[in-house]
Chain A
Amino acid sequence: MIINHPLLGPRDSEEFVYLGSTDLINRPDWESGTAAEDFHQYQYIRENVAGDNPELWYHEQGDQSWLVVTRNTLTHEIKSVELAADYARRMGRSK
C-alpha cells in the first residue's frame, strides 16, 4: 500500500506501523462516574468497520508522526491522510 503523507508525500506502507482505529484517540475521563465502563469500551470494544475506517498509522521509518489514514477495509482504498495531532485537536483533545 501507499500512504500519502500530508507532509512527506507518498510513502510505502512498509515505513509505517499500524495501531488501529482512531477511537483510541478518545481516551475517557478517569474521574467520570462511568470511567470503568468507559475505559473498557475504549480499550476493548471495536467498531471493526467494514468500509471507510479512520485509523492510526505511525511513521516509524520517517518523521515519527502519527497519521489518521481513512482507508476502506473492503478495498484498501485510502480516502484521506492527515496528521493525527490535527485530528485529535478536532476531536477536542488538547492538554
Chain B
Amino acid sequence: MSKVRYSAFKVLKEALSGHKGWEPVWRDAEPKTEGYDVIIVGGGGHGLATAYYLAKNHGITNVAVLERGWIGSGNVGRNTTIIRSNYLLPGNEPFYELSMQLWENLEQDINYNAMVSQRGIMNLIHSDAQRDAFVRRANSMLFADAGAEYLNQDDIKDRYPFLDVKNARFPIKGALSQPRGGTVRHDAVAWGYARAASNLGVDIIQNCEVKGFNIDNGVCSGVKTTKGDIKAGRVAVCVAGSSGRVMAQAGIKLPIESHVLQAFVTEGLKPVMDNVITFGAGHFYCSQSDKGGLVFGGDIDAYNTYAQRGNLPVVEDVCSGGMAIMPMIGRARLLRSWGGIMDMSMDGSPFIDKTEINELYFNGGWCYGGFKATPASGYCYAHLLATGEYHEVASAFRLDRFRRGAMIDEKGVGPQPNLH
C-alpha cells in the first residue's frame, strides 16, 4: 500500500534519482471473496470521495469502489472545473458551502495538490429584475457565510476591460461575485481521493462493471459484476450519468433524465482572464486554466441522450454567447469539445438518499453541477451510509420530495429537466 508522502522534498529527491521511487498513486485491487461492509458503485469523484470520508470520518475501511472503466472516467474527468457556493435556496446553499470549505482544506487533508484555485466567479447582470434576483441570491449566500460581492458597471470595466459592457445586445449593468469561487484541476480530484482512500485501506477495483444487484426480500446484499458476485453490507450507487441504467437493474425508476452537456477548451493562450465569468442571459461561461486554455460551456443539448456527444447548434450558440460579451475571443480557436452525460433531475437538485430497497443507497441527479459538490457529496453520503441519518446540510436531497411537494427548484422552471 502506498504511503509515500508527497512534498517538494520528495519530488527533489526523486528528481535526483531518476524518479524510480514512486509508487502507484492508488492500489489496484481485485474483489475480496468475503465481501465488504460497503460497496460503492462508481469510481468517479463522488464515489471516491465517499470512500475516503467513510474511512476517514467513520472508520469504515472495508470498502470497495467498483469502476466500470478507469477511475475518474465520468463527469469528474469531463467538466469545466468550476467550484462555487452561490446558491439561492436553503436546501442547497449550506450544502455547497460545506463543499467549498472542504475544497479549501482539501490539499492538506488528502496530501494531493488538486490545484484548488479561488480566483473568483462572477455572474453578469443585465436588467433590474435580474439584479434583484441576484441580490436575493447574494443575501442567501451571505446568510450562509459563503461570501458575496456586488460589482457595478465601473468595477467590471476596470477589472475586465475586454468585456463589452456598453455595446452588447444586453449591456452589462453589474455582477454578483463570489470571490471564493474558482476552479480545481478536475482529474486530480479523482486521483487525490483515490490515493487517500486507498491509503486508508479502501479497495479500488477498475474495469469492474456492475451488471445487477443481489436483492432478496427487499434487501440488497451485494452486486453482480463482470468480476463475479461481490457481497456487501451496504451498496451505495454513485454513477451520475448512468443512474437510470444502473438503478433500473434494481427495478427503480428515478426522477431523472439523461442529457448531454458539451464543454469546450481553446488552444493555450497567455493569461487574459483570472476568474470565472458567467453570462447567464447568453448561456455562456468561461474561465482560463492554468495551462492557458479558455474553458467554456453553455446549455445542455436539450434532448434525452446517453451518447457522449452533442450537436452543432449548441456549439454555435455557446460561441455566440462568448462573442456577445467577449469579442476578443473571436481569434481564439476551439481546440477540443467533449460531452458528458448529466443526470438531469426534475428540479435541478440532487439526491443523497436511501431507496425503497434496504441497504441500497442512491446518490445522483447532480445535473451539470456535480463537480463542485464532490467533497460534500462524498462527505454527506458517507455520513448517511455510516450512520443511517441524513447529514444536516443534505437533508433536503430526498427521492420522495416530489411526492411531498418539497422541490428544490433554484431556477423555478418546474419539472422539465432540460430547462434546469
Contact = CB atoms under 8 A, between A and B. Distances in A.
Asked if chains A and B are in direct contact (CB within 8 A), the reply is yes
Contacts of A55: 303-304
Interface in A51-73: 53, 55, 71, 73
Interface string A4-35: 00000000011001111100000000000000
A88 B103 CA distance: 50
A76 B305 contact: yes
A50 interface: yes
Contacts of A73: 258, 304-307
B303 A18 contact: yes
Interface residues of A, number: 25
Interface of A is mostly: mixed
Contacts of A45: 253-255
A64 to B, nearest CB: 18
A23 B11 CA distance: 58
Given A47-B253, A48-B254, A73-B306, A1 B415 contact: no
Interface string B82-97: 0000000000000000
Interface residues of B, number: 23
Interface string B303-347: 111110001010000000000000000000000000000000010
Nearest to B245: A50
B257 A48 contact: yes
A47 B417 CA distance: 13
B416 interface: yes
B244 A48 contact: yes
A5 B418 CA distance: 22
Contacts of B311: 1, 13
Contacts of B417: 20, 46
Nearest to A57: B303
B303 A43 contact: no
B255 A44 contact: yes
B304 A20 contact: yes
B393 interface: no
A43 B415 contact: yes
Report, nearest first, the 7 A-B pairs whose CB atoms are least far apart.
A48-B244, A44-B402, A44-B255, A18-B303, A14-B313, A18-B302, A44-B346
Given A44-B255, A44-B346, 9 more contacts: A1-B311, A18-B418, A20-B418, A44-B402, A45-B254, A48-B258, A73-B305, A74-B305, A76-B307
